[in-house]
Chains A and B, each alone.
Chain A
């Protein structure tokens, strides 16, 4: 179990209080539901309490993106909105329109074509639910008999999306042991083993024995979601409806346990896989050890290279080993259907061939990197994990920080490199992405927003939900969470309490203020003497901030800081029928001394509707309207992960190196560079 898994599990345990909120169901109740058909009563009795019935009112949050948990949900009745609340801000630079846009385009030409054109915008974002979210809107609806949150339940990954009851919703919340029981399909597992054995002993022949019936989950997925999922992939965009229907019926839904080998390099090939849940490691055996080529997540496919070779009449052998990193579920398409797909639909064939060629070329490039040194040594040393390091020659570096500024200039003012790190003689290995050979940061991203480009750089896409998992996974601390300012009037910025940011000058620093222990969210910047705060101001943490130090100047500064984050409107008296809803109650207060209504967070458009419902009093409603107007458009902050992508779209040297006036910064291949020194 990796350190990151332990952290995830601990966080999931912290969030486990959820189970206490529902009504435990008896085995008799459960067996009445089709989902539990075929599961023995004894097993359900043994796991009593591991599945509870929960009711959610309209507008109530069932789960929130980025939160940790250990349960999955099955909707019994009602519809839910599912969305990722991730304003597109900062991680990638978005082009501007108008005069400034034109100017920026001209500047961009001088910069060497900064706009990211290499990666196409996806049509959908794949999340941990039976629906994919369409690009641009990032929201969808799920109804009864929908299972969601399996990735969180099985692998302890953060929730990939926020789910809110659109109407009164009843659902089952269950722990992993129950989900395992539901997934279990012994006859299919047995049939699959038989099939694999047959293929190994009779290469090229067809296994005729019919597949046993799906289990309840497989059946529901096949009937309700598989077709939508398939049609959501660019690969199947131009595939006819009848063939999709054929695939829906014939595809297998197969689960793999963590560590299970899906196929090995050199095995005969007869299947094509699309990942539905979990992460798959693609690796190759090389002289000296195993080389990780890629991690594949939800929505990505593998196994096409050998099947394409087979379609050309060549030997169909696997070129790499694929292993389940965690609990993996894959949609498996057999070789005959795959052949039909590529022969009938040239577009699909073209896409598959392009992807296969790209992957083979990447493998070849990686092989070149590692061929002249024993792979064992190459992997053992932390630095040698890297394919590219930003190295500063300290004898030349004047510590002017032009490299850091150039990085910030390239990324909306947020630098992705820190001029600090390991030292080797006169060389400083700066804290910036190393594009590791084994990019473990990619494992677990709940929305698949971290990826690796053709040229092997790691990139993080705009729809990052800020769950922090990649930052925890990076062994070198080179992925950072940065607060990005967003406009609260953004259409997507709803239903989630955004963070607020404020700062106040505190200079000189009071001697009794220990800034090494500041409360969560508070930081002190020596340059200018600024006290900064990023967080969700509510009564609890306001108290903590105030109590931290009794110094008068600190108290004044904190008072000013908190006032900056408030929205205050006059209201003579709090109405008698005032009843705040639980979600928003920590963010609304009445100040009797000042006769004013105080809002502690940002009032988003949706929040306003909810605030209005807290009382029927007209004066109160007017005060809310006024506060919403004041709050509207005020800047708020969301955290997103950032990492150095080596300015991959430039196709030239990265900006940090280009902007160094002292020839001190250089991007090097560690093996060649340190090997030669």
Chain B
């Protein structure tokens, strides 16, 4: 979620809650009921902070439940998300005020540390979700659905093979058998609407005359550098770096005869798409990976909070 001007009301509300709670705390420990013994979770004021902090945590935790009933008209998901962000963050100062800025015993220390980790991971997550979508939009114009990435990569690998077929078979295979098998595969693929007829005809024509004159260096380049990168065996420089990859392809262009330049352009485009998809995958992991810390710890925090409430009430 982008944190922008539209969050103003939540920001002001949070500041107001913080100021009121902080002011009250200051008054209470200097002149009020807790002036004598100092602040504690068991005092009336401390309990109010505890209840507030727990309520904020619970509300934040309810976002997960809200997401399970997406179609229920119980407030827009966006409202719940804003509440999750701001009230979830406010829970930490409330807990500080509740505990009088002390960690206390084992259980309360665990609770406090869990809260720190959850809030910090949440803030990092919010930051990622604020910045990464924009970066992904700009740097991955060929973005696809995350779950489809392996499929698309496979198709790109096959396409690269089809394009490079202009250089002839890879491993001394009988040319006629190779040509027949590749043409048949090309036809089957094109009937499944994975390429235009024009493209299929182009590739089929290249197959019919393969290997093209002067294509040996291209074949070498394809087998040594492009193919391992495209099939995922190597994600190393130079092809994983757009600038270096571009230089590499430019060099190859100088070395290869003019009729093979189009093939080289195709391979460059495929490498570029593969690189984008790798980048998308990395960014997707950053976008959602922090949740693997945030969510389980939040659940643990809720369970331990219940235990804390029961224990506290029992020994109050």
Contacts and interface: CB of A to CB of B under 8 A. Distances in A.
B289 interface: no
Most chain-B Cβ atoms within 10 A of its Cβ — which of A107, A114, A516? A516
A426 interface: yes
B73 A110 contact: yes
Nearest to B283: A399
B133 interface: yes
B81 interface: yes
B154 A405 contact: no
Contacts, number: 97
A526 B73 contact: no
B257 interface: no
Contact of A409 (B70, B74, B155): B70
Contacts of B254: none
A35 interface: no
Nearest to A404: B145
B129 interface: yes
B141 A110 contact: no
A398 B1 contact: yes
A661 B81 contact: yes
A662 B158 contact: no
Interface stretch (A1-9, A66-74, A146-154, A415-423): A415-423
A516 B145 contact: no
Say which size band chain B's interface belongs to. 35 or more
7 contacts: A406-B71, A409-B70, A516-B154, A516-B155, A655-B71, A658-B71, A659-B67
Contacts of A426: 134, 137
Contact of A396 (B1, B69, B74, B194): B1
Interface in B68-97: 69-74, 76-78, 80-81
Interface string B187-198: 011000010000
B50 to A, nearest CB: 28
Contacts of B287: 398-399
B150 interface: yes
Given A110-B72, A658-B73, A516 B78 contact: no
Interface of B: 1-2, 6, 63, 67, 69-74, 76-78, 80-81, 129, 132-134, 136-137, 141, 144-147, 150-151, 154-155, 158, 185, 188-189, 194, 284, 287-288
A371 B9 CA distance: 38
A10 interface: no
A402 interface: yes
B133 A396 contact: yes
Given A396-B2, A527-B147, A655-B70, 8 more contacts: A112-B73, A394-B134, A397-B133, A399-B146, A418-B145, A419-B145, A659-B77, A660-B78
B73 A661 contact: no
A111 B129 CA distance: 28
A658 B154 CA distance: 35
A143 B188 CA distance: 45
Contact of A406 (B70, B80, B132, B146): B70
B78 A517 contact: no
A25 to B, nearest CB: 39
B258 to A, nearest CB: 31
Given A399-B146, A402-B67, A652 B73 contact: yes
A112 B71 CA distance: 9
Contacts of B154: 515-516
Nearest to B149: A526
A514 interface: yes
B137 A405 contact: no
B72 A662 contact: no
B1 A661 contact: yes
Contacts of B129: 398, 662
A426 B132 CA distance: 13
A661 B63 CA distance: 10
Contacts of A660: 77-78
A466 to B, nearest CB: 19
Interface residues of A, number: 36
A111 B75 CA distance: 10
A515 B132 CA distance: 32
Nearest to A410: B71
A400 interface: yes
Contacts of A420: 144-145
A515 B136 CA distance: 28
B141 A423 contact: yes
Interface string A200-219: 00000000000000000000
B137 A395 contact: yes
A402 B70 contact: yes
Nearest to A110: B72
Most chain-A Cβ atoms within 10 A of its Cβ — which of B72, B76, B141, B288? B72
Contacts of A527: 147
Nearest to A653: B76
Contacts of B71: 111, 114, 406, 409-410, 655, 658-659
A666 to B, nearest CB: 11
Contacts of A454: none
Contacts of B151: 515, 526
Contacts of A405: 70
A516 B72 contact: no
Contacts of A14: none
Nearest to B140: A394
Nearest to A405: B70
Given A394-B133, A398-B129, A662 B81 contact: yes
Nearest to A420: B145
A518 B78 CA distance: 41
Contact of B158 (A400, A516, A659, A663): A516
Contacts of B2: 395-396, 662-663
A357 B150 CA distance: 53
Contact of A659 (B70, B150, B155): B70
A397 B1 CA distance: 7
Contacts of A418: 145
Most chain-A Cβ atoms within 10 A of its Cβ — which of B71, B129, B144, B288? B71
Given A660-B77, A661-B80, A526 B150 contact: yes
Nearest to B159: A516
Most chain-B Cβ atoms within 10 A of its Cβ — which of A114, A419, A420, A663? A663
Contact of B137 (A394, A400, A514): A394
A169 B223 CA distance: 66
A661 B77 contact: yes
Contact of B1 (A111, A410, A655, A662): A662
Contacts of A409: 70-71
Contacts of B80: 661
Given A394-B137, A395-B137, A516-B154, A402 B77 contact: yes
A611 B288 CA distance: 55
Contacts of B134: 394-395, 426
B125 to A, nearest CB: 10
A399 B133 contact: yes
Interface in A480-535: 514-517, 526-527
Interface string A420-434: 100100100000000
A478 to B, nearest CB: 15
Most chain-B Cβ atoms within 10 A of its Cβ — which of A420, A423, A526? A526
Given A661-B80, A662-B2, A663-B1, A517 B188 contact: yes
